[in-house]
Amino acid sequence: MTQACDLARAFSDVVRHRRGYLLLEWIRQAEQDAPKAMKRFAGFLRQDLDAVTAGPTLPWSSGVVEGSVNRVKTLKRAMYGRAAFELLRTRILTQP
């Protein structure tokens, strides 16, 4: 249990402090010493290592775009079957 907690803290540190260069070493350590669920998580990270490493390394983020997409989808679900497309379009374009 202690090993799992230490690995979780190390992963949190890698993500929070944008130290993507340490991610491969974390994956190796997790695959060797971690409980089964954490080993599976490390295996999933290894499958797309370039993208996973780029996330905490590069300064760019798609968070703003994802937020906008989420807002539009929420409005679309709320208005489904209630009004014409023009009202949906107006609500999407007028809300901040």
pLDDT of residue 89: 87
User: How many domains are contained in the chain?
Assistant: 2
**Can you say whether the dihedral through the CA atoms of 53, 50, 72, 78 is positive or negative?**
negative
Same domain for 51 and 10: yes
Amino acid at 78: A
Which tokens is 94 given?
Answer: 């007028």
pLDDT for 96 beyond 80: no
pLDDT of residue 33: 83
Cβ-based neighbours of 22, under 8 Å, separated by 6 or more: 10, 14
Same domain for 53 and 13: yes
The pLDDT tens digits for 50-79 are 888 888 888 887 888 889 899 999 988 888
pTM assigned to the model: 0.61
**Domain of 82, in residue numbers:** 63-94
Sorting pLDDT into bands at 50, 70 and 90, what band is 47? very high
